[in-house]
Amino acid sequence: MNTNWIIFFAAFVLALGLTPVFRKIALKSQFLDTPSGQLKKHTAPIPYLGGLAIYFSFLLVIFGSLSIVPPQDTQPIYAILVGGTVVALMGLVDDLFSLSPASKFLFEIVAAVLLIVFGLKLEFLPGHPILTYALTIFWVLAVTNAVNIIDIMDGLAGGVAAIACLGFVLVPFVDAHSYVPFIAAALGGSVLGFLPYNYQPARIYMGDSGALFLGFLLSAMAMGHGYSQNNLVGLVAPLFILAVPLYDTALVMMIRFIRKRSMFRGSNDHLALRLRKLGFTVKQTVHALWYVSFMMVLAAGFLVRLSEKRALIFILFFFFVVMLITLFVALIPMDDNVTKVKESPFQIFLKEPSSLPVKKRLKK
């Protein structure tokens, strides 16, 4: 059996066993997510700490594997472990005490800089180091927060992350670093072991500690592949693999900007909630977005094989379709009961409306 499959199954079994343990810890410690606002509509408090089950399953399998069959390039793995730990701890603090967007960005930038220090960065602009570092930080922050943003429905973020892991392993890119399938196998197994407890009706949530950790690791894996050997357009392949979280983030940011609301203040503008408005059930919505994620992984594999001209035509056609879909989605009427706040779309130091209790503010 391939080593990566052993890593995958080990992580899966660990997460399957650790998740109920952390659920009991959360219940005893009263680390609960209570229903509030437009996004948290579950009927009873749900324990957090599922993210710690994912984190420790991943960590234990990685350390065990490194001691037995280490891959050739271990330095990026240590960078991912250190950066991922920073992000997971920050997410845990946010789950318990609610950090401001500015504070979270600061820790995420630190984690992204750690990747750069260890040599893990975007590599398509080798002659422009400053621009490369800036784009790497932007990429890490974008993907990290995008996965967190879609964590609004039982099983959604976990399923999309697992499909992305599959994409980074199975889509046959060339020049892949050996750490990519290694990390993807451990993370994919950890997420799938957690998912049975998070699928509707969820018995535990991953929280920001889990969603931000998943996003950070996915952003790092995306930087470990070569995409443009057949065509330069292939550079956008990671955007396809991570299409659902990145599209949802772009959608909500755009709508909040148009409405002159801070792009970092939670709202009900998400794609998943708009599908619910059309009559989809929670399970139908989650399954639909899982399916879209899988199809986008297939599209990424198709894109990197095309010639330059055909790849460009494919992208232009795809962009046109996405614009039509966006127009349709944005026109779906949504109930907006959020207290109006006069603020800049770029404001990241948020103040809670006087009519909205601090503990019930929207976070996604």
> What's the CA angle centered on 162, arms 363 and 209, to 5 degrees?
35
Residue 45's CB: how many other CB atoms inside 10 A?
A: 15
Beta bridge partner(s), residue 47? 32
Q: Please give the Cα distance from 110 to 199 (Å, whole number).
A: 32
Pair 14, 190: CB distance under 8 Å:
yes
Residue 43's CB: how many other CB atoms inside 10 A?
A: 7
Tokens of 65: 């594997």
Q: Which of 113, 145, 3, 110 is nearest to 62 (CA)?
A: 3
Domain assignments of the chain as residue spans, ordered by start: 3-360
CA 90 and chain centroid, separation:
15
The per-residue pLDDT for 361 is 35
Residues 6+ apart with CB under 8 A from 332: 274, 277, 278
Pair 253, 243: CB distance under 8 Å:
no
The per-residue pLDDT for 126 is 74
Local structure of 172: helix, strand or coil: coil
pLDDT tens string for the chain (364 positions)? 578 889 999 999 999 999 999 999 999 998 888 766 555 555 678 998 999 999 999 999 999 999 888 777 788 899 999 999 999 999 999 998 888 888 999 999 999 999 999 989 987 777 788 999 999 999 999 999 999 999 999 999 999 999 999 998 877 555 556 788 889 999 999 999 999 999 989 999 999 999 999 999 999 999 887 777 778 888 899 999 999 999 999 999 888 888 877 776 767 889 999 999 999 999 999 999 999 999 999 999 899 888 889 999 999 999 999 999 999 998 888 876 555 555 666 665 555 544 444 333 344 5
Q: Tally helices (H) and strands (E) across the chain.
A: 13, 2
Q: Please give the Cα distance from 98 to 350 (Å, whole number).
A: 12
At what angle are helices 179-198 and 50-68 packed, to 10 degrees? 150
Prediction pTM value: 0.89
Tokens of 69: 């069959």
